[in-house]
Every structure is written in structure tokens, then in C-alpha cells.
Amino acid sequence: MENVLQNRGYLTDKGFRSWAYTLDHKRIGVMYLFTTLFFFLVGGVFGLLIRLELLKPASWLFSDQVYNELFTMHGAMMIFLFIIPGIPSGFGNFFIPLLVGARDVAFPRLNIASYWIFIAGILVVTGSLVHPMDTGWTFYTPYSAKTAASVTLLSFGIFLVGMSSILTGLNFIVTIHKLRAPGMTWLRMPLFIWGMYATSIIQVLATPVIGITFLLLAAERIFGIGFFDPAKGGDPLLFQHFFWFYSHPVVYVMILPAMGIISEVIPVFSRKPIFGYKAIAYSSLTIAFAGFLVWGHHMFVAGISNIAAIIFSFLTFSVAIPTGIKVFNWITTLYKGKIYLDSPMIYALTFIFLFIIGGLTGPFLGALATDVHLHDTYFVVAHFHYTMMGGTVMGLFAGLHYWFPKMTGRMLSEKAAKLAWLFIFIGFNITFFNMFILGFRGMPRRYAEYQPQYQGQHIVSTVGSWILAVGIIIMFYNFIRCMRNGEIAPANPWSGRTLEWQVTSPPPTHNFDEIPVVTKWPYDMGRRDGQ
Amino acid sequence: MAAYWTYIIVWAALIVLTGVTWGVSYIPLGMFNAVVALIIASAKASLVALFFMHLKNEKELVWAFALFPIAFLALIIFGTLTDVLFR
Amino acid sequence: METQPIKHNIAPEDPSVVHEASKLGIWTFLATEVLLFGGLFTAYTVFKLKYPEMFHAQHMHMNKVIGAANTVVLICSSLTVALGIAAIKRGRVAMLKACLALTIFLGAVFLVVKYFEWQEHFAQGLYPSSNIYFSLYYMMTGLHGIHVLAGMAALAVMLVMAQRGRFSEEYSTPVEITGVYWHFVDLVWIYLFPMLYLIG
């Protein structure tokens, strides 16, 4: 079958140097996607190993020390090397200039620098594996100040990864402010851009705090400063305040881009304009802002004052409001729409369903009385896997299936995509819904050994993890195979109305032959082209 | 475009304020020493920001970029204090 | 440049957009710096409120005269870079170069003074691990010092570019944004001086 991609667009130039020294945001986005997806798979393997160990109540596969290292690296890798950079640095880089009608981001050289800083951070993090971290991804003091693991190296590695995140966010903020095409007012921007704008604000304001936190942790180990050491008058809770001041807003860095993707996919695949555009746009900013007010809810049982606990608990409930607004608007968009259940849409609908579950289990933890019972149990593990994997990762998968034709010039196999989805959906829910109940029953998180009455449920979750893994494998096989042999994609396979669909698949290096003049918003759907 | 003289006058004001804050630090005012010192520091910082960094001539967007982080700095300090001060 | 393998027309057509974008970019970067130092300011506030007597006792080890002198050094360096930028906006390249060199020199003076200050404290047995006050002192002035060094490097790059005739009254954006960064470094010290030297 004559399946050669005639016009390779931005993919034309070949060779290592054409990628390593590129200034093209699309290539940089692709490199980020490959790198972050690689760590998704590596982190996933760690997850499978954790689940294997948990088949039996007593240690059997790994020592407890190795188990501690496994869940630490699973968390740290997934969070810092996959989910935080994933959609922003991958899809953000590729599509922000296209969606706003620009030729590139505001600072292309800073962009490629951010990628190489990311790689440097990864190399340092990998170097720390000579003595893997065993503190949990939250690196709480005092243990993290004393453990023999390579905390200092890992701290510097994550500092570099954070720098990369900051530079990316900075680039996007300036790009969105200054490089929009003529006629693209703020209220004609695609909602993915609103989501990325809100995300970038968080990245810029929150990430430096984790930077200083890791510097202080390294300084405690190297120079013996005493901020977090009670023996020297310090306060271990201060570490937690600093850590969570970043790490709570960062969950909104994780979810806002995914929500942006959902806001793009839902209208296109229901052939209806998005309902409540302004509400969705402004709610992105509200979530970004409100996300900064609630970090203390990770510390309710750590020993903070009652006043602080009450204030943070109250504020925590406020974040649900703008989130709920989005969900209502997506569902309303579907009403009386013509629904096309192609793979991007299936993942988008999956996102909504799973994220609702994840989101609704948040208040259980935000309410002080119930949190005392549920904190540090499997309930928490289930909650954040539903929001981060059921949410962000499904959003990422939706984006991958939606934009694969644009990025590669080829279509995916819908059959393989749907088969993969089935395994992923079933496997995910078995693995993680089960954990809500485990947590309610009192199973603590991060324990390698547990009471025998929990074994039945642990076996269920482990089997679920295998089903999930099969689905991921099928999905990646689909990607890899169709990158070479997929059916040639048209410029606009889904009849989208945002600007990336006006250029070829794949786009030319310079994006647009002429910068478009925008006269309307991108959600006038109508029928699919050619129908 | 500011005249050279503007910068020299601002510089002189900054030197004077530095002297003032140094001198006031010798007067025992209890906890007001800190308040006065920070007020003077903020006055100096404002001069640097408005004139040397040209904030005075910038549009509201740049002002927003300059002021927002200060609000978040206040947030992390006060948020932490609601815990630390009331244990 | 012929050595670049990939060339594509990425610059926005309007040069004033580039100027505005660069300005927004540096202010965004400064926002990150406010939060970076912010962690240390938070720690300072927490511990000062917790240990007022210890802070008072320890700050007596600070030499206010040297601190004030270093403050003056940085303020002068802000003046020199501001004058340099005003000069290049009037097309006066030679004055820009002199001002940049002077600014770098004053930055070096600041760091040398700091070095001797630290040496003196070490000689008195006051190390980062000695007590929380000095942990804060060394972390804050150390982080600030790294930023001074980075600023000097950036100014040096500007000096080289000025030497190569890259700036004129039409185009001085890189110098302007380097100047904004340098003033920020001065601004942080304007707070550090009273916090560490005057109000223990």
C-alpha cells in the first residue's frame, strides 16, 4: 500500500543535530513528549513491582528498604518527570503557538534551553539512584535530612527539573500575552490556551518554593543548617509548609492542561459550541488562584494549630466550586450534541467520569474529622490516582489520540485504540476503586507488610494493575506502529475549528504561510466537514 | 526616557534613606525597630522599582506582574504563621 | 548564522513586540525570584517570632558599618547601570561600556566585602550550623551572592556585546532587561540589610 508521507513539514530535516539544536517549538514539544512518556512507562514498571510485593502480607519479593525505595521512585518519577512536564511541555509547546496563530513561542532559545536543563535534571536524578531515595516522594524531614540515600543529588536534580518547568511557564505566559494573532482577543482564545495560561502562572509562582525547599534540605545535609531540625531549634513542619505550598498548587498544574484538552475535544466530538466558555475560562484562573490557599490540608494530623487546620479545611472546599463549574459545562455541551465516539472522545468522557469520582473523594479528606481517619491510608492513594491518572493521564491520552494525526501526519488505528481503552478502563477501576475501600478499612499507605485481612483486596488491585498494564502496552503499540504505517491523515480529520487544523498534518516548520487574522471564536462547530 | 539627573536624585535619596535606617537602628524602639526598618526598606525598594526599573512608566500589565508575587509572598508567610503562632 | 542547522522565520514581524515581550519576560522571571527568596523570608519571619532574644543576641555579631557600606556599594551599582542604559538610549556607546564596567566592578567590591565578612564570622566560630540565626544569615546572603555573581556575568556579556557594537539608540533591549535584573538584586539586599544587620 502506497502509504508514504509526502509532505513531512516540520519533520523534514533529519539527524541528531536537527533535533538537539532545534528552535522549533514543535520539535521541542515532541522531544518532551517522548521523554515524559518514557518516564511514565518506567514509573509504571515501578508501580507494577509495588503491586507484586503487595500480593502477600509479609515481605516476599523485596526487602522493606527496597520497597521504600520503589514507592519513592514511583512517586517522584511519575510526578516530577512525567505528569508535571507532560502535557504542558509536550502539548503546550507543540500547540500553544499554533492555537494562538504565532510562528513560535516568545523565547525559542529559552525553550530549547529548558529542554536541556530538563535532561540535565533527569541525569542527576538518575545519578541519585546509586543510593535511591526511601523517604516517600514527599521527602519529609527529619528522615530526609538523615537518611543515607542520595538526597542531595536528588534535590539538585529536581531543582533543575523545576527550573525547566519555570522557564516553560514563563515562555508561555509571554507568548499568550504578546504573540496572539491579530483579532484573537482573550475571549477568542481556545480554552486549552486559557488552561495553559493558568497553569503557567502556577508554575512560575509555586515552583520556586520547591526550589528553595530542596536547597534548604541539601543545605541541612551539607552545612548542618537547622531550619527543620528540632535539636537546633528548627521545625520539621516548616519543611512541610514549604513543600506543600508548591505541591498543592502543582496538582493544578497537572489537571488544568488536561481540562484544557477536554474543553477542546468535547465540542469537536459533539459538534456543538462549548457551553459556558467564559465560565470555563475564568474558572481556570480561579482554580489556579484558589489552589494556593489550601496547602495546609496535607498537614491536618501533622501537628499544625487548630486555627490553621480550620482555615485550610474551609478554604479547601472552595476549590471544588470552579472545578464543578467546568464539569457542568462539559456535560451541558454534550446535551443535544451529535456525539462521535472516536478515541479522543472516549478518553475525554472517561476523564469526566473518573475525575468526578476522584474529585468527590477530595472533600472526605478536606473535612477535618474524616481526614483524621483517612489520612495516610489507601483512601488517599485511590483519591490521587483517580484525579491524576483517571484525570490528567486520561486527558493526556485524549490529547494524544486527538493530536496524533496533526503531529505525525498519520491516523491511529481506532480498533486498537478502543481495545486498549477497554483494558485501561477496566484495569484502572479494579486497581484503584478497590483502594477506597481498603483505605476505609484502615490499610495504611507505604506499608510493605500488612495485616492478613487486607490480602484479598490487595490481590484484586494487583490483578487490576496487570489488566491496566496490558491496556497501556496495546496503546503504545498502536502509537509506535501507526507512526510508521498509519493511514495518511488529512489536515483536519476531526473537523476542528481551532487554528492548528488550518495547517497541514504535520505542520510546516514556520506554522503558517501567513499569520491568520482571527474574526471569531473557535467553537462554531456545525457538521463535520464533507457531511 | 528619564534624564540622567532623575537617576542621580533617586540615588541620593537612597543613600540618605540608608543613613536614616542605620541611624534609627541605634534608637531603642522595641518591636517598632523592625516596623520602621521595613517601612524605610520598602520606601527604598519602591524608589528602585519605580525609577531604576522604570515601573513608573510601565503599563498596568507590568505592574500586575510586579505586584502579584508580593501578594503570594505575603500568602506563604501569613499562611505559615497561622500554624506556627497558634500551636 | 550559517552554522545553525535549522533556520525558520520565527521572530514576530514587529520589533516593538519583541521589546515588550522581553520586558514581560524579565518581570515574570523576577516573580520567580521573589518566591525563591520568599521561602527564606518566611523562615526568617517564623524564627524571629519564635526566638526574639536569640536573634537579638546573634545580630550583635553583625558589623553594621560594613553592612551599610555594602548597601551603598550596591545602590551605587544600580545608579551606574541606570546611567549606562540612559546613555545607550541616547546613542552613547562609550558611556554605556564605562557604566557597565563600573557596575561589574562595584558588584565585585560587594562580593569581596562579603567574603571578608564571612571569613571574620568563621574566625569567630560562627558557621551555618552554629545556630538558626546564622543558618539564615549564610543562606540568605549566600543565595543573594550567587545572584550577584550571575548578574555580573550577565553584565559582562552585555559589555562584550556593546564592545561589538550590538547596541544603539534603536536597540538596547538586552541591556535594559539585564539592568532590571540587577536592580532586583539590589532590591533584595535593601531588605536583607535591615533584616540581618539592624533588627535582630
Q: Which three cell numbers stand for residue C7?
A: 533556520
**Is the CB of residue C139 less than 8 Å away from at least one CB of chain A?**
yes
Q: A58 to chain C, minimum CA–CA distance in Å?
A: 42
Q: Does A109 touch chain C (CB under 8 A)?
A: no
Query: If we measure between CA atoms, which residue out of A103, A65, A83, A44 comes closest to residue A503?
Result: A103
Who among C37, C54, C135 is closest to A227 (CB)? C135
pLDDT of residue C12: 61
What pLDDT score does C15 carry? 77
- Nearest CB to A166; choose among C5, C32, C138: C32
CA torsion through residues A332, A333, A334, A336, sign: positive
pLDDT, averaged across chain A: 96
Query: Confidence class of residue C6 from pLDDT cuts 50, 70 and 90?
Result: very low
Is C133 domain-assigned?
Answer: yes
C89, part of any domain: yes
C75, C193, C197: residue with CB nearest B11: C75
Query: Cell digits for A14?
Result: 533529519
Q: How far apart are CA A428 and CA A263, in angstroms?
A: 23
Does residue C2 form part of some domain? no
> What totals of helices (H) and strands (E) does chain A contain, helices first?
20, 0
Same domain, B44 and B82: no
Does the pLDDT of residue A424 top 60, yes or no? yes
A496 touches A245 (CB < 8 A): no
Tell which residue, A102, A99, A287, has the closest CA to residue A178: A102
Give CA–CA dist A88/A199, Å, rounded: 8
Q: Write out pLDDT tens, residues C70-123.
A: 999 999 999 999 999 999 999 999 999 999 999 999 999 999 999 999 999 999
Could you identify the residue written with the cell 496547602? A295
Which three cell numbers, joined as nine digits, stand for A191?
A: 480554552
Q: How confident is the model at residue C8 (pLDDT cuts 50, 70, 90)?
A: very low
End-to-end CA distance of chain A: 27
Are C186 and B62 in contact (CB < 8 Å)?
A: no
Distance from CA of B31 to the nearest CA of A (A): 22
Instruction: Name the one residue in this structure whose C-alpha cell is 571569613.
Output: C119
CB C34 within 8 A of CB B70: yes
Is residue C117 within 8 angstroms of chain A, CB to CB?
A: no
Indicate whether C24 belongs to any domain: no
Instruction: Spell A158-186 as b/e; 16+ CB within 10 A means b.
Output: bbbbbbbbbbbbbbbbbbbbbbbbeebee
State the average pLDDT over residues A168-196: 97
Do B4 and B36 belong to one domain? yes
- Residue B66 and residue B36 share a domain: no
Total tally of structural domains belonging to chain C = 1
Alpha helix (H) residue ranges in A54-150: 64-76, 84-87, 93-100, 108-127, 143-146
The fraction of chain A above a pLDDT of 70, given in percent, is 100
**Pair B19, B46 in one domain:** yes
Whether this model's ipTM surpasses 0.90 comes out as: yes
pLDDT-derived band of residue C11, with 50, 70 and 90 as boundaries? low
Same domain assignment for residues B48 and B17: yes
Residue A68: CA count within 13 A, CB half-sphere:
15
Amino acid found at A149:
A
Across the interface, of B69, B72, B82, the residue whose CB is closest to A307 is: B82
pLDDT, position A6: 86
Q: Find the domain containing B34 and state its range.
A: 1-53
C23 falls within a domain = no
B72 vs C contacts (CB less than 8 Å): 34-35, 38
Query: Is residue C96, in this structure, part of any structural domain at all?
Result: yes
pTM equals 0.95
What are the distances in angstroms from CA A423 to CA A31, A48, A416? 28, 15, 11
A510 burial class (0-12, 13-18, 19+ CB within 10 angstroms)? Answer: middle
Rounded Cα distance between A468 and A473, Å, is 9
Q: Is residue C70 part of a domain?
A: yes
Size of the A and B interface in Cβ pairs below 8 Å? 42
| Pick from A108, A204, A212: CB nearest C10 | A108
Write the single-letter amino acid at A325.
I
Find cell 540587577 and name the residue. Answer: C182
Q: Are residue B43 and residue B80 in the same domain, yes or no?
A: no
The reply to whether B38 and B78 lie within a common domain is no
Query: Which set of grid coordinates corresponds to residue B27?
Result: 534608637
Q: The CATH number of the domain where C43 resides is what?
A: 1.20.120.80
Q: Is the pLDDT of residue C1 over 50?
A: no
Chain segment A463-476, per-residue pLDDT in tens: 999 999 999 999 99
Domain containing C49 equals 33-198
Q: How many CB pairs below 8 Å do chains A and C form together?
A: 134
For residue range A245-258, list pLDDT tens digits in order.
999 999 999 999 99
Task: List, for residues A269-292, the tens digit of each pLDDT value.
Answer: 999 999 999 999 999 999 999 999
Is A296 an interface residue toward B (CB < 8 Å)? yes
Same domain, B23 and B39: yes
Residue C65 counted as domain residue: yes
Cβ burial of A502 (10 Å; 0-12, 13-18, 19+) is middle
Grid cell for residue A498: 481551532
More confident: A333 or C6: A333
Q: What is the pLDDT of residues B47-76, one digit of tens each?
A: 999 999 999 999 999 999 999 999 999 999
| pLDDT digit string, tens, across residues A86-129 | 999 999 999 999 999 999 999 999 999 999 999 999 999 999 99
Same domain, B42 and B65: no
With a CB-CB cutoff of 8 Å, which residues 170-199 of chain A face chain C?
Answer: 170-171, 173-174, 177-179
* pLDDT of A399 above 50: yes
Restricting to B residues 27-66, those with a Cβ less than 8 Å away from any Cβ of A are: 61
A305 with B86: Cβ contact below 8 A: yes
Q: How many domains does chain B have?
A: 2
Task: Please tell me whether residues B2 and B15 are part of one structural domain.
Answer: yes
B72, B35: one domain:
no
Say if residue B12 is in the same domain as residue B49: yes
